[in-house]
Amino acid sequence: MECNEWSERNHSLNAFNLALKIGTHGLIRDIVLDLASDGSVIVWGRARNYYAIQLAVCATREFGNRRHLFPKTRLLLSVGESVVDLEIVHPEYEKQDRPLPTPRPHRRISMTMTAAMPAAMMDVIGSVESL
């Protein structure tokens, strides 16, 4: 892995860590993020309650929808003596290869007429064309 690639991934993990802390309002402690071999992220942490896990799921989905950096996230969060293991797939990550829309300067504005256009509208168009 090149230095730039590592730096970008590290920056992404730091941004995700911050999003989790903010999104869970600090209810998850000892957060550790790791990058798996398939490019997904593994999150370990201790949650104060199950509500904190719900917040973590929401924060993870929101981050995944805004930034398409990881194919999936695995949350391994402990609440007391039990461990909750969740896998959240980010479907937008796979759609990144789709063609980009036409840039604004190269777009053409066009209007198409439908076959079921009301007769009143046809009269307006006819009167404009006769000018």
Residue 11 and residue 35 in contact, taking contact as beta carbons nearer than 8 Å: no
Model confidence, pTM = 0.65
Kindly indicate the confidence band of residue 8, based on its pLDDT and cuts at 50, 70 and 90: confident
Residue 126 C-beta-side C-alpha neighbours within 13 Å: 7
Q: What is the mean pLDDT of the chain?
A: 77
pLDDT at 70: 83
Of residues 4 and 63, more confidence is placed in 63
